[in-house]
Copies of this chain bind each other. A is one copy, B any other.
Amino acid sequence: MKDVATAAGVALKTVSRVVNGEPGVHPATAERVRAAIDRLGYRRNESARVLRRGRTATIGLVIEDVADPFYAGLSRAVEDVAIAHDCLLLSGSSGEEPGRERELVETFCARRVDGIVVVPAGADHGYLRPELDAGTKVVFADRPPGAGLDADTVLADNAGGAGRAVRHLLGQGHERVAFVGDAPAIYTAAERHRGYRDALGDRYDPRLIAMRPPAEEAMRADLERMFALDRPPTALFTGNGRCTVTALRALAGRKVALVGFDDFELADLLRPGVTVVAQDPAWMGRVAAELLFRRLLGDEGPPEHIRLPVRLIPRGSGELPP
């Protein structure tokens, strides 16, 4: 910048004015400065700018795994909102490890991101206290923060959607509906299990429950066990997209009704088409990011808790009779 100033025969500050489009520079001077900038290939150093101004114009995003279509869709939406606000996006995958989540959040904070959207992997967010006090805005998406922290949160209607799925199956005459979900430590899995149980009432049977990280072999074993029962399940409710896909493989053509939580590409092309309770990852991402920017722009209202509705899409698999 100093070089540009020298080259253009002006003071440092004038170059700064031109670079930032500040008013109060004679057009001719500005032109001269711009010429010098082009000639020298000058680029403003954002780090120095950030250091001086205090705002980084960067937000952070912590998700579980970008390679998961749900989080990929959410990411893209957050990115779009960030761009609309002239912000860059730093992102990282926690891989469902609380330690990694914390590490990412802290690294983002150290880089002074203006705010963060986080899909929590851990259950304890006490480590966020100092950041929140320091003014970093945080919005939780998909899962709420651990106990003791009341912060902005955007969730899907997990329990409600699960109930809807189960009632749909009961409506077709099924009496034995199994639940195959992710590990119970995961908030969404637990909520969907809760919705399932409540909808089932006294038809609830713990032997029809399998909750663990979806892996084909383990799930096949779980299903074998259930189908070997006196009164085997005639329908399956799967707790998330990965569970649905794993279950479809593990079932290997066995004829059972199935409703899955989460929509997925090609669900309509399978035979039968897969009935799902769909949430909209892009919507969730957009809502969370917009809420974050409202906070960044000075909205100091009490923490918001937004719950996004889900919808049932019948495609055939959930309409099979017992």
Contacts and interface: CB of A to CB of B under 8 A. Distances in A.
Interface of A: 41, 43-48, 50-51, 56, 58, 65-69, 72-73, 75-76, 79, 83, 88-93, 107-112, 130, 133-134, 245, 248-249, 264-266, 268-271, 282
A72 B91 CA distance: 12
B110 A92 contact: no
Nearest to A131: B43
Most interface-central of A67, A89, A249, A282 (chain B CB within 10 A): A67
**Main SS of the interface on chain A?**
mixed
Contact of A92 (B46, B89, B270): B89
A51 B41 contact: no
A75 B67 contact: yes
A274 B19 CA distance: 54
Contacts of A266: 245, 248, 264-266, 270
A134 B274 CA distance: 53
Contact of A76 (B43, B67, B282): B67
B93 A76 contact: yes
Contacts of A66: 66, 72, 75-76, 79
A46 B249 contact: no
Closest 5 interchain pairs by CB?
A72-B72, A67-B76, A46-B111, A47-B50, A47-B51
Nearest to A40: B130
Nearest to A133: B41
Contact of A41 (B45, B47, B130, B268): B130
Given A72-B72, A134-B41, A88 B90 contact: yes
Contacts of A91: 79, 89, 91
A263 to B, nearest CB: 13
Contacts of A89: 90-92
Contacts of A268: 249
A248 B56 CA distance: 45
B56 A79 contact: no
